[in-house]
Structure 1
Amino acid sequence: MGDLVGIPLQVLFGQLLIGLINGAFYAVLSLGLAVIFGLLNIINFAHGAIYTVGAFVAWMLLEYLGVNYWGALILAPVIVGVLGMVLERTIIQRIYRMDHLYGLLLTFGLALMIEGGLRQAYGVSGLPYNMPPELSGGVNLGFMYLPWYRAWVVVAALILCVAIWFGIERTKLGATLRAATENPSLAKAFGINVPRLITLVYGLGVGLAGIAGVLAAPIYQVNPLMGSNLIVVVFAVVVIGGMGSISGAIVSGFALGVVEGLTKVFYPPASNLVIFLFMAVILLVRPAGLFGRNS
């Protein structure tokens, strides 16, 4: 087995794979945050809790209804998206005209309520969720062992991110969404139902978190704390990519996951700090983020 600066290639590529997997979750969650902030101007701190809800919904579908992983991958984001739309229509819409701080405090409170309810009902030990049999096992590439499920997570996240980017940036529906959120008065004059579109956008954003929760369940188990452990890092990724930037969320999510993985190889003590160090540097050099636009 070869090595790079005294580090076995198997270790290096293994950490690269872990970095890509983490980056996949960073990208999908950051994408949902970017959609909500970019189109609705809401800092959704409940996003991590919604990610947790997605994992729990998948577990409940299997445990109580016998719905397998593939069914949950479709149903769980829909259920989470509907839940998000109900929250938007009943609570979130009340703070659209207020300062960003009110949205942050409100969604942070929602996150605490969701996490507390799940902890009370299921504890914090974690619930197992088996990966689908079709994706069990893996392949030996010679320099590393590649589990099929982890490869699937990376590919699924890439497909999802590209599809959402294309839908928002390159389609007529995406143009309508941007018009309805950037200039609602003009959009209403053209007969567009702006409140309905805003609700759908929020549902899409939290639905992405639900998908990430289902993808994560077989890897990290289903735990009420899984979202709170991730949300701060995801916000840092969003800031680095540019608040509200769809492409920034995708690129920075995958890239920073890989950087974090490589840091664990070359200097492990800095692996938990490297993303925040990047964020500090970016805020000093380019406050709007790598892909963001200055106000």
Structure 2
Amino acid sequence: MQVLMGQLLIGLINGAFYAVLSLGLAIIFGMLNIVNFAHGAMYMLGAFVAWMGLTYLGINYWASLLVAPLVVGLLGVLIERFLLSRLYKLDPLYGLLLTFGLALIFEGLFRRFYGVSGQQYSVPRELAGGRNLGFMFLPNYRGWVIVAALVVCFATWFLIERTKLGAYLRAGTENAKLLQSFGVNVPLLITLTYAYGVGMAALAGVLAAPIYQVSALMGSSLIIVVFAVVVIGGMGSILGSILTGLGLGLLQGLTKAFYPEASNAVIFLIMALVLLVRPTGLFGKEA
């Protein structure tokens, strides 16, 4: 039972990261119709901003939760304004190729200066230790990651589904020209959407930094799984990204407990089955 619960905990933590990252991807795809292959690089940049802030500037973990998304979000503004905005009238393949190239550039730069061995980032003192739940030992920081990810996902869902700004976002995905005719600054809305999406990836990077080593390869090793999560949930589906990310994380943990050899393949197997039965994804809509 302890082994099973431990693996389910690991799966839930992975699922929390899948949910936050796939949610950012879904927001960007829904508004910009761009498959953002640079999302894993933004996740890596968020972790490195936190690590460099602590190492060189003394910025602690709690401040990094705000600083890293802002820094990476500002970078996202520059990318969207000067690069992606030139591709909206072209085939979506060009956006995919551009973001894939950006991911390679960022990864190459950090590999050049920091290598691939990884940097350690300490757990904040307030979240050190753990607690005995009787059936398992729960590290405080891992519990915090799960709670923080759920709060971020719920807040994002509420923003998009229950606020006026979210109504503008959803309207922009349906008919941007009509929305602009009502006086809404659609280009600014698109820029802020991309910045928010990559900012969420950076926040996930800060949350991951004390658990995993801060490495130039940490994004590339995760982004393929996150894309599979988005495809299973439905491209552009907010609720689908959240539920699918958490559910697949738990399923992956359960697989590790009973058949570890299949744990890395189970998500892609499910993706193949979903695409055969429902190509739009579990929560996706027909075009």
What is the distance in 1 between the residues matched to 2:252 and 2:213?
Answer: 21
Partner amino acid for 2:115? G
Aligned equivalent of 2:33: 41
Instruction: Map 1:138-153 onto structure 2 (within 5 A).
Output: 138-153=130-145
Aligned equivalent of 2:112: 120
Where in structure 1 do 4 or more consecutive aligned residues deviate above 3 Å?
A: none
The alignment status of 1:12 with 2:4, answered yes or no, reads yes
CA offset at residue 182 of structure 1?
2.5
CA offset at residue 107 of structure 1?
0.6
Instruction: Map 1:34-183 onto structure 2 (within 5 A).
Output: 34-183=26-175
What is the distance in 1 between the residues matched to 2:225 and 2:35?
Answer: 14
SS in 2 for 1:219: coil
What is the distance in 2 between the residues matched to 1:95 and 1:159?
Answer: 34
CA offset at residue 121 of structure 1?
0.9
SS in 1 for 2:131: strand
What is the distance in 2 between the residues matched to 1:167 and 1:37?
Answer: 17
Identity of matched residues, %: 69
What is the distance in 1 between the residues matched to 2:238 and 2:168?
Answer: 16
| Structure 1 gap ranges (5+) | 1-8
TM-score by length of 1: 0.96
Partner amino acid for 1:193? N
What is the distance in 1 between the residues matched to 2:90 and 2:241?
Answer: 25
CA offset at residue 99 of structure 1?
1.4
Partner amino acid for 1:267? Y
TM-score by length of 2: 0.99
Per-residue CA deviation, residues 67-99 of structure 1 (Å, 9 max, x unaligned), is: 100000011101110100110001011111111
Aligned equivalent of 1:280: 272
CA offset at residue 104 of structure 1?
1.0
Aligned length: 287
CA RMSD, 1 decimal:
0.7
CA offset at residue 180 of structure 1?
2.9
Aligned equivalent of 1:209: 201
Is the deviation greater in 212-221 or in 183-192? 183-192
The alignment status of 1:233 with 2:225, answered yes or no, reads yes
The alignment status of 1:252 with 2:252, answered yes or no, reads no
Partner amino acid for 1:30? S
What is the distance in 2 between the residues matched to 1:268 and 1:258?
Answer: 13
SS in 2 for 1:60: helix
What is the distance in 2 between the residues matched to 1:206 and 1:294?
Answer: 26
SS in 2 for 1:220: coil
Q: Is the 8 A contact 1:181 1:194 kept in 2?
A: no
What is the distance in 2 between the residues matched to 1:85 and 1:215?
Answer: 22
What is the distance in 2 between the residues matched to 1:90 and 1:67?
Answer: 30
CA offset at residue 40 of structure 1?
1.2
The alignment status of 1:261 with 2:253, answered yes or no, reads yes
Per-residue CA deviation, residues 185-223 of structure 1 (Å, 9 max, x unaligned), is: 212211111111100000000000000000000000210
